[in-house]
Structure 1
Amino acid sequence: MPVINSHDGCPIDVEVTGPDNAPVLMLSSSLGTTKHMWDPQMAAFTAKYRVVRYDRRGHGKSGVTKGPYSMELLSRDAIAVMDGLNLDEVNWLGLSMGGMEGMWLGANAGNRIDKLILSNTSTYYPDKTPWNTRIENVTRAGSVAAIADTVINAWLTQTFQKNNPAETARMKEMMIATPVEGYIACCAAVRDMDHREIIKSITAPTLIIAGSKDMATNVEAAEFIRDRIKGAKLAIVDAAHISNVEQPAAYIAEVTGFLG
């Protein structure tokens, strides 16, 4: 499991698995999760692809630098990972923040992206108040645990939580373990992002995945993205925000069907 230093020296913890000569699939996860968010997909993905997954700056085993962060900074971390692994081009699958980074990469580093999958994501938040409140609550408490119950209810439906307590607990523990400084620095990146115009320049074949019960990044947000990227396709799965965890089989089918 390599550690790759980004352009400013921040260490990014990376895992590479799957056949050496297979097409590369790079995964980027949601705010408050690590690369292990993708565990439900790894057996299927590594059977077909060379999978690169990593912990975002401020999360997991990667470094925590002083915030606030920006979507450009976080996306350049992804480019540093590609460069460190000598990857000229990857297929990109990003969920939530990972999709936000994917939009930046598709618009600003399109030569590095073969196919692009933007999952449970959005281009812009006009109302900054919820993000400022979240930052204030986590800062005041000194722990992401202060918002954990609220966030988990946005991540996963009540039905899933009731029927899958172990997986729900795993996701909640992952969130709570996120370093406070890294979490609030990434919240600022999401709050300040505006990808509404840049996505029009994306030329990579693009799939958008939305959750029918996702209140954080709803179907309308996905349709907005689809309508501004030429030729983009939209798939909807029966899930809330962390759709790969809630509907792992359906999620795998959408991704592999698109990538081939």
Structure 2
Amino acid sequence: MHDTPFITTGDGCRLAYRVDGDENKPTLVLSNSIGTTLHMWDGQIAALTQHFRVLRYDGRGHGKSDAPAGAYSMDRLGRDVIELLDALGIERAHFLGLSLGGFVGQWLGIHASDRIDLLILSNTSAHLGPANEFDARIAALQTSPDMAAVAQAFLANWFPAPMLEAKHPATEPFRDMLLSTPPQGLAGSYAAVRDNDMRRTIALIDRPTLVIAGKDDTVTLASHGEHIASTVPGARLVIMPGVHLPNVEHPDVYARTVLEFLLDREAA
């Protein structure tokens, strides 16, 4: 599929998406971290499509999707997924979200659990603060939208230093994704994270849930994953070696962890 397909949401935002795998298999939706595109999952597609039809999308403000100005909300980012499922005629799906995608997954588990079968929340948090830190980042993007410095800071938080110093081939595409992210898309997404607190409401999630945390994650700490796993009824927790993007640092272990959970629970 070379031409990128789009849907248009109720508020007029075009969202780019991509489907891989056999349409007769159950659907697994993958949702990205802030500052990345659907290609952040490229390393998992071969393994996942053996069992699932994989639906990826560029979040609002990222990649080939539109980047409306102004603050985004977690409600809006969650509804984007629902509208994407509706447009493609998908009644229910499994959902794996990492970082910002994990916030979206929590929202879906709370507000749209009738659309979600199995839920995986990776390297994410129910609340990230303080708010003034996000305000400062948003202000900095508005005054000096130089994505090079922003990209450098993100990469340092996402990957271990030796991997970056060696210019590991897996990390370089992420620099390009960050550099091509529209500043107002990043600012809108920062606002959605800033204004969001699901620390209590995730207790309402009734879907079988796997929480993946990174042992050395400095963005969404392992303790954040532990909080989610202890609050969501019956959730399982896996703490993986690695920083914020374990799917890139340890692609095979990550895919295996995800598949074990999905296939076990499907069999059950």
Determine the structure 1 residue equivalent to 2:266. none
Asked if 2 retains the 8 angstrom alpha-carbon contact of 1:137 and 1:146, the reply is no
Aligned-pair identity in percent equals: 42
Asked if 2 retains the 8 angstrom alpha-carbon contact of 1:104 and 1:198, the reply is no
In the alignment, which of 111, 130, 146 is matched to residue 127 of structure 1? 130
Shift of 1:161: 1.9
Correspondences of 1:38-187 after superposition (within 5 Å): 38-187=41-190
**1:32-79 Cα distance to aligned partner (Å, 9 max, x none):** 000000011011111211000000011111111122000110110010
Shift of 1:130: 2.3
**1:163-204 Cα distance to aligned partner (Å, 9 max, x none):** 453222211111111011111010111111111121010000
Point out the more displaced range, 142-151 or 27-36. Answer: 142-151
Specify every segment of 5 or more residues in structure 1 that has no aligned partner in the other structure, as ranges.
none
Write the letter of the residue equivalent to 2:232: I
Determine the structure 2 residue equivalent to 1:26. 29
Point out the more displaced range, 178-187 or 136-145. Answer: 136-145
**1:190-220 Cα distance to aligned partner (Å, 9 max, x none):** 1111111210100000000001110100110
**1:119-178 Cα distance to aligned partner (Å, 9 max, x none):** 000011241232122212222222322322111110111122234532222111111110
Determine the structure 2 residue equivalent to 1:229. 232
Correspondences of 1:243-258 after superposition (within 5 Å): 243-258=246-261
Determine the structure 2 residue equivalent to 1:10. 13
SS in 2 for 1:181: helix
Asked if 2 retains the 8 angstrom alpha-carbon contact of 1:157 and 1:240, the reply is yes
Asked if 2 retains the 8 angstrom alpha-carbon contact of 1:134 and 1:147, the reply is no
Distance 1:229 1:66 in 2: 34
Distance 2:212 2:128 in 1: 19
Asked if 2 retains the 8 angstrom alpha-carbon contact of 1:33 and 1:171, the reply is yes
Write the letter of the residue equivalent to 2:200: E
Shift of 1:17: 1.0
**1:209-237 Cα distance to aligned partner (Å, 9 max, x none):** 00111010011000100011111000111
Distance 1:11 1:96 in 2: 22
Point out the more displaced range, 229-238 or 1-10. Answer: 1-10
Normalised to the residue count of structure 2, the TM-score between the two structures is 0.94
Distance 1:144 1:77 in 2: 25
Residue 197 (structure 1) aligned with residue 200 (structure 2): yes
Distance 1:258 1:50 in 2: 16
Asked if 2 retains the 8 angstrom alpha-carbon contact of 1:66 and 1:181, the reply is yes
SS in 2 for 1:137: helix
Write the letter of the residue equivalent to 1:106: G
